[in-house]
């Protein structure tokens, strides 16, 4: 795909382009988005339960 670097005026010594090389630790981020997903599902099924109860 045709790409472009985002901050061309920056002339840093280490010209690092492409995908990041060293692996960043994002375990906490993964856990956090799972929690968010869980909250969404719990509340959705909660209200869906109310709907079924009243239907």
Both tokens of residue 13? Answer: 């010594």
Task: Determine, following the binding rule CB under 8 A, whether residue 32 of this chain makes contact with another protein.
Answer: yes
Q: Is the separation of the CB atoms in 17 and 5 below 8 Å?
A: yes
Q: Determine if 37 is a binding residue for another protein (CB under 8 A).
A: yes
**Residue reference for tokens 């799972």:** 34
Told to check if 22 binds another protein by CB under 8 A, we report: no
- Binding of residue 27 to another protein (CB under 8 A): yes
Interface contacts to another protein, rule CB under 8 A: 1-10, 12, 14-18, 20, 24-29, 31-33, 36-37, 39-40, 43-44, 47-48, 50-51, 54
């Amino acid at each position: 795909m045709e790409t472009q670097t985002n901050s061309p005026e920056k002339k840093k010594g280490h010209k690092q382009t492409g995908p990041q090389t060293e692996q960043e630790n994002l375990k906490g981020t993964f856990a956090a988005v799972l929690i968010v997903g869980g909250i969404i599902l719990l509340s959705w099924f909660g209200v869906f339960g109310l709907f079924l109860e009243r239907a």
